[in-house]
Chain A
C-alpha cells in the first residue's frame, strides 16, 4: 500500500465520523524506485489531504523534512517534488494494519493489500 492510496482511505465502520486518516501500524515497509514525473506529482498535490500525508510519513519514520503545508510555487521546486514523489509513490507498506482512529477497528495489510472488508454488522 502506497501512501498516495492511504491518503484516500478512510474508516467506513458504521457510525464513525472521524475515521480519517487511518492510523498506520507497519511491520514491513519497502521502498521502490519509481520514475520521477514532476508534472504528475505536482498535479497530485492539490488532491491530497496534506496533513494526513505528513502524519502517515511520520508513522513510517519517513518524514524527510516535509513541510507542514506544501511550499508556495511548489510546481517549480524540484527538490520538494522529489521528496513528495518518494513519500507518495516509492514507500510501500507490505505488512501491518490500518487502524480506525475512532473505533479502534484494525484492518490488516498483508502482501501489500489492505483488507477493508467489513463484517455484516459493522
Chain B
C-alpha cells in the first residue's frame, strides 16, 4: 500500500507541481499573517526549517533567524534558491537533518498531500525528530469544512487553476489585486501553488455572474462532488446493472475499465469547448443524494461517451486502488477489500491512461488551459480535530499547544517534549 500511496503522490502531487511551477504569479499571494507571526516570534539566532517550502514563500521573513527550506519539487526549490534562500531537495518522510537541530519547523499546506494516514503520521514524526526539545512546529492543512464549498469526502482531486478571479474578499486580506498570467520565465514568477490554493482557495473566490468564475465554480464543484475517490460517477445507462453483486475479481476488472473510462470522460469534459455553455446547475450535487450514491458499490461502465448532463446523476464507485487508502480513514460504508496485487496494478494502469490522455491533449508545454485540465492535485482534507488527534494519538513527542481554523485551514502549533522511554 505504501508503494501505491507513493505512486499516487508522484502522479498527483509531485509531477503536478513540477509542471505548474513556471506558471505561478507571485503577486497573487503573500505570506499568511499567522505563519509570519510565528516566524517573527522566534528568538534571534534560531534555526528554522520550512518543510515543503515550495518556492520559498516564507523564507525571507525575519532576518534574525536562520531559515532553510526543503521540498521534493526541483523547479520550485531552484526558484527558491534563485531568491537567495538555503534550500534542499528531499522527501518529508525521510528528512536529512540530525535529531533536535531546529528551534522551529513549519509545515504549511504539505501533509494534506500525503495519501495515507500512516504517511501523514510519519511526516509529522520526522519533523518532530528534527525539533529540539522545547522547539515548536506549526502545521497547516486544508480544512474539510469550508465556507463556500462542501467537500463530500476527505480524499479528493483538485484542479489547478492558473487564473482565479480576484474578489473583494481577496483584497480585504491584503493580497495583490493584479491579474495574473505574466508568462515571464523569471524565477521570481515561480510560486508554490499548494500554499497558494490552500489559502486563497479557488472556491472562495467565486462570485456568480462572471462566466470565467462560473467555470471555476464548475471545476471545483464538479471535482469535489464527482472526481473524489469514493464518489466517482459512471454513466446513468449502466446504473441499472450496478445493482448486481459480482465476484471480486471481475468486479475489480470492470472497475479498472470503469476508472479508465471515467478518466477519459472527465478529461473530455474539461477540455470540451462546450464547457463554457454548461450551466452551473448541471453539476449541482445534492449532498444527500451524493451520500446515498456513495453507498452503491457496484461496478459498471463500459460506456465512455456519457453526456455531461448525466454525470452528476450517476452512482458512485470507489476506485479500487484507493479503497486501501480509504481503509484507514473511511468513515463510511466498508469499502470492498481488494487484494494486494490488484491494488498494486491499478495505479499503474490509471497512470497509463492518464498519461496517454495528457499526451493526446498536447501536454508538451503548452497552454495553461490544457495544463489546468490535466493537473489534478490530490488532497486529503482534514476534519475538525483530526490533525490534533493524529498528533495526540500517534506522536508522543509533540504536545499540542494551539488549534485553530485559519480561513480554510486547520492549524496546529505543537511543542517538542522529552519522552522518557522505560
What is the interface of chain A, defined by CB distance below 8 A to chain B? 1-2, 4-5, 7-12, 20, 37, 39-40, 42-44, 47, 49, 107, 111-118, 120
- Measured between beta carbons, the chain B residues less than 8 angstroms from A117 are 72, 89-91
Among A9, A39, A44, A111, the residue within 8 A (CB) of B66 is A44
Q: Decide: A113 near B77, CB < 8 A? Known: A10-B98, A118-B94.
A: yes
**Bound complex: CA of A113 vs CA of B101, how far in Å?**
20
Q: Check if B97 is an interface residue, CB within 8 A of chain A.
A: yes
Among B6, B95, B103, the residue within 8 A (CB) of A12 is B95
- Measured between beta carbons, the chain A residues less than 8 angstroms from B45 are 39-40, 42-44, 47
**Bound complex: CA of A85 vs CA of B78, how far in Å?**
25
A113 touches B96 (CB 8 A): no
A5 touches B86 (CB 8 A): yes
A114 touches B89 (CB 8 A): yes
Given A5-B88, A47-B45, A115-B90, 11 other A-B contacts at CB below 8 A?
Answer: A2-B86, A4-B66, A8-B98, A37-B64, A39-B64, A43-B45, A44-B45, A47-B47, A113-B89, A116-B88, A118-B91
B81 touches A40 (CB 8 A): no
B97 touches A9 (CB 8 A): yes
**Nearest chain A residue, comparing its CB with the CB of B101:** A8
**Bound complex: CA of A47 vs CA of B86, how far in Å?**
18
What is the interface of chain B, defined by CB distance below 8 A to chain A? 3, 6, 43-47, 64, 66, 68, 70, 72, 77-78, 81, 86-91, 94-98, 101-103
- Measured between beta carbons, the chain B residues less than 8 angstroms from A112 are 81
- 21 A/B residue pairs, CB under 8 Å, sorted by A: A4-B86, A8-B47, A8-B68, A8-B97, A8-B101, A10-B98, A20-B98, A40-B44, A44-B66, A47-B45, A47-B101, A47-B103, A107-B96, A111-B78, A111-B81, A114-B88, A114-B89, A115-B89, A116-B70, A117-B91, A118-B91
In the complex, the 8 A-B pairs of residues with the closest C-beta atoms, listed nearest first: A43-B45, A116-B96, A116-B90, A115-B89, A10-B98, A8-B101, A12-B96, A5-B86
A39 touches B44 (CB 8 A): yes
A-B contact count (CB 8 A): 77
**Nearest chain A residue, comparing its CB with the CB of B64:** A40
Q: Decide: A120 near B6, CB < 8 A? Known: A113-B77, A113-B87.
A: yes
**Nearest chain B residue, comparing its CB with the CB of A35:** B63
**Bound complex: CA of A120 vs CA of B93, how far in Å?**
11
Q: Decide: A1 near B86, CB < 8 A? Known: A47-B47, A118-B91.
A: yes
A91 smallest CB distance to B (angstroms): 13
B31 smallest CB distance to A (angstroms): 21
**Bound complex: CA of A59 vs CA of B73, how far in Å?**
29
**Bound complex: CA of A111 vs CA of B78, how far in Å?**
8
- Measured between beta carbons, the chain A residues less than 8 angstroms from B46 are 43
**Bound complex: CA of A107 vs CA of B64, how far in Å?**
30
- Measured between beta carbons, the chain B residues less than 8 angstroms from A8 are 47, 68, 97-98, 101-102
- Measured between beta carbons, the chain A residues less than 8 angstroms from B101 are 7-8, 47
Query: Which of B6, B78, B96, B103: most chain A CB closer than 10 A?
Result: B96
- Measured between beta carbons, the chain A residues less than 8 angstroms from B97 are 8-10
Among B72, B78, B94, the residue within 8 A (CB) of A113 is B78
Query: Which of B47, B70, B88: most chain A CB closer than 10 A?
Result: B88
B230 smallest CB distance to A (angstroms): 27
A29 smallest CB distance to B (angstroms): 15
**Nearest chain A residue, comparing its CB with the CB of B46:** A43
